[in-house]
Amino acid sequence: MKANDSEIWESFKVGDKSALSYVYFQYFHSMFQYGIKFCDDQEFIKDCIQDVFLNLIQAGEKLGPTENIRFYMFRALKNTIYKSIEKRNRDKIAEFIPLKFDAPFALEEEIAEKENASNKETALLNALNCLSHRQREIIYLRFECEMEYDQICEIMELQSDSARKLVFRAIRSLREIIDAELKLPILFLIQFSQKHVL
Amino acid sequence: MDKKYTRFSAEEFAQDTNFIKWVKKGTDQKEWERFIRENPNLTQDILTARRILSALHFNPKDLQDDAVYTIFKNIDSFHSKRHKIKRTIRFREILQYAAIFILLISLGAAMSIFIVGRKGGVNPQMAILPPNNNEAKLILSGGEEIILKEREPELQFNATGNLIKIDRDSIINYNKKPDQDAMAQVVIPYGKRSTLLMSDGTKVWLNAGSKLIFPQKFSGKNRKVFLQGEAYFDVFKNKGSPFIVSSDNLNVTVHGTQFDVKNNNSDKDIEVVLVEGAVSLKEKGVMNLLSKEIRLIPNQKAVYNKADKTTNVESEVDVAYYISWKEGLLEFNRESIVNVFNRLSKYYNVSFITERSVELNRKISGKLDLKESLEEVMKVISDAAPVMFRIEKNKVFVINKINNLPVR
């Protein structure tokens, strides 16, 4: 499917309707999930996605080529969210507000709901709390979206290789905590992996 | 399994693409299990890496399905406006004909939909029946039947109705002198389409599953033809002899200009869409004097309900939408999936069998190129709707898309 992306994109540019519906239905969901992490306002993100498409359709053949539509759409969405927030805040605050990847990990939500979290859980929660917005975003793009590091750096305007370093640091901090709690026999691991539990 | 893994730390595992795929999707499960058995010293690291990955997971946010379609509708209509210029040009080419209209008359019983019970009706599926698999044929006024072999046969009658050209090369010299108003017929089964030039100079595009009965040689005050199914007429102007298309219980009269008539796939309605000029609709029957005549102005659509004999008129319809089939295209604008399947079963002469859970009333929009293979067309549909398909001979099995977790 990836090899086909540039062809689909060329059809999209010249106004092919089936290319439009392909791109839309293929990427709407992942765009929404990515966008909602910056601003937990469904209506706002939906509007932003709509704007992305309207702008792309408007630009038509003036658009550049791409070999990875999802990457292109993510970058376009992020720009649109940024501009829309800027527009919304224009009257209120004059200062620069960076776009924050402001979403909790599933585990953070889970532990926060519990009344009696264990020591281990609290330790893990603390470690996760220490992860910055940037680290969260890289982790999301890398582990949930399986995006390549160079693309992540481009979307996030990072120096090449710094995304990889930030992920490594996050993983090492978690490793120390998890290592301390795990002293388990092999048998358990095999059962564990058979269930493919995440 | 790559040898490099035997030297991996927990951190490295947690960042390895193959390892992540195994943890998230169970990819290469057996290989990883064997690797763990062969390298028990790595157990701790692998387990730690799994825990790290599970800690770094985000929950997807719920989103109402409706929203996806509402937004698409906005985008799609913007897209249509943006690309309208192109469409207008194409449409002009069509408008050059003297008089144009489409008539789509009831497809009758062949197009029925029914519920198939399976194992005592526990899990009924919806099935769209395969249309009759007849051959396309031309029946001349003397009763001679000529089988038309091409997928889109082209027929031409000369002005006297005794020379008939079929496709590029074969010409029939019909020596019998046609009787006054002796009728010929063209029958087009599902999976085929045809064009026909009649002896009065009127050109007809016959859609799949249609039958047209017409005088081999026109004469007299009226030019009257009978249609079942769907057709597009390019009527040759002749003020002295009005052109009338007769269907079940409705007559459509052309007043010298261009219009377009359509009948729904269901056998309940007859639709008439006017492109240019004027047409009138009149119910047939003994109470002729009482039944009122309805006149249409351009871009209007009349819908005649056969059951309660009422007619509704809509203004400013998108005419191109109704005639796209003639260009080998199928355009949908918020059409339900079941209607799309109905149409496709006609064009490709296949039957659709859909799983019960498939939302048949889900609305989809788009344009399908009927010159493409059914497979290609179904791919477009499965992108626009959450369905998957499998084609076996002349059956298309449709099931819901399996919603794979993790959200990408």
Q: Where are the domains of chain B?
A: 3-55, 65-83+328-400, 98-105+132-317
Sign of CA dihedral A50, A55, A58, A60: negative
Instruction: Please give the mean pLDDT across all residues of chain B.
Output: 75
- Of all residues in chain B, the one with the smallest CA distance to A148 is B17
- B47/A182 CB distance under 8 A: yes
Domain annotation covers residue A97: no
Determine contact, residues B200/B214, Cβ cutoff 8 Å. Answer: no
Asked if residue A184 has pLDDT above 60, the reply is no
What is d(CA B176, CA B186) in angstroms, rounded to the nearest whole number?
19
Same domain membership, residue A187 and residue A118: yes
Query: Quick check: do B65-83+328-400 and B98-105+132-317 share a fold?
Result: no
Nearest by CB to A24, from B23, B50, B72: name it. B72
What would the two tokens of residue B1 be? Answer: 């399994």
pLDDT of residue A139: 94
Query: Do β-strands B163-166 and B203-206 pair in parallel, antiparallel, or remain unpaired?
Result: unpaired
Burial pattern A111-144, b for ≥16 Cβ within 10 A else e, equals beeeeeeeeeeebbbebbeebeebbbbbbbbbbb
Determine contact, residues B400/B386, Cβ cutoff 8 Å. Answer: yes
Highest mean pLDDT among A30-34, B51-55, B69-73, B146-150: A30-34
Domain annotation covers residue A141: yes
Q: The domain that contains A70 carries what CATH number?
A: 1.10.1740
**Position B96 confidence tier, pLDDT thresholds 50, 70, 90:** very low
Q: Which of B104-108, B196-200, B340-344 has the lowest mean pLDDT?
A: B104-108
Cα distances (angstroms) measured from residue B229 to each of B51, B81, B339: 64, 32, 16
Same domain membership, residue A110 and residue A76: no
Same domain membership, residue A114 and residue A66: no
Domain annotation covers residue A126: yes
- A18/B82 CB distance under 8 A: no
Q: Could you tell me if A194 lies within 8 Å of chain B, comparing CB atoms?
A: yes
Q: Is B201 helix (H, G, I), strand (E, B) or coil?
A: coil
Please name every residue paired with B354 in a beta bridge, in sequence order, or none if there are none.
Answer: B126, B398
What is d(CA B173, CA B279) in angstroms, rounded to the nearest whole number?
36
Pick the CATH number of B98-105+132-317 from 3.90.950.10, 1.10.3720.10, 3.40.50.2300, 2.60.120.1440: 2.60.120.1440
Q: Stretch B103-119: mean pLDDT, rounded?
A: 28
Pick the CATH number of B65-83+328-400 from 3.40.50.9100, 3.30.465.10, 3.55.50.30, 3.30.420.40: 3.55.50.30
> Look-up: residue for tokens 């017409």?
B214
Please count the other Cβ atoms lying within 10 Å of the Cβ belonging to residue A152: 24
What is d(CA B166, CA B157) in angstroms, rounded to the nearest whole number?
9
pTM equals: 0.48
What is d(CA B300, CA B317) in angstroms, rounded to the nearest whole number?
6
Q: The domain that contains A112 carries what CATH number?
A: 1.10.10.10
More confident residue, A94 or B138: B138
Chain B residues with beta carbon closer than 8 angstroms to that of A198: 23-24, 53-54, 57
pLDDT of residue B80: 82
pLDDT of residue B262: 59
Asked if residue A70 has pLDDT above 80, the reply is yes
Determine contact, residues B230/B101, Cβ cutoff 8 Å. Answer: no
pLDDT of residue B131: 43
Q: Which of A69-73, A74-78, B130-134, B299-303 has the lowest mean pLDDT?
A: B130-134
Same domain membership, residue A116 and residue A76: no
Sign of CA dihedral B143, B147, B152, B155: negative
Domain annotation covers residue A119: yes
The percent of residues in chain A predicted with pLDDT above 70, rounded, is 85
Domain annotation covers residue A98: no
pLDDT of B8-28, one tens digit each?
Answer: 999 999 999 899 989 888 888
Same domain membership, residue A17 and residue A75: yes
Name the domain count of chain A. Answer: 2
pLDDT of residue A81: 93
- A17/B366 CB distance under 8 A: yes
What is d(CA B187, CA B207) in angstroms, rounded to the nearest whole number?
10
Altogether, the residues listed in chain B come to a count of 408
What stretches of B232-363 show up as alpha helix (H) in DSSP? 319-323, 337-348
- A175/B75 CB distance under 8 A: no
Determine contact, residues B178/B162, Cβ cutoff 8 Å. Answer: yes
Asked if residue A185 has pLDDT above 60, the reply is no
| CB neighbour list of residue B187: distance below 8 Å, 6 or more residues apart | B134, B136, B137, B138, B139, B210, B211
| CB neighbour list of residue A148: distance below 8 Å, 6 or more residues apart | none
Domain annotation covers residue A11: yes
Asked if residue B407 has pLDDT above 70, the reply is no
**Position A92 confidence tier, pLDDT thresholds 50, 70, 90:** low
Asked if residue B352 has pLDDT above 70, the reply is yes
Chain B residues with beta carbon closer than 8 angstroms to that of A32: 61, 63
Asked if residue A10 has pLDDT above 50, the reply is yes
Same domain membership, residue A133 and residue A62: no
Same domain membership, residue A57 and residue A26: yes
In terms of residue numbers, what domain contains A188?
106-194
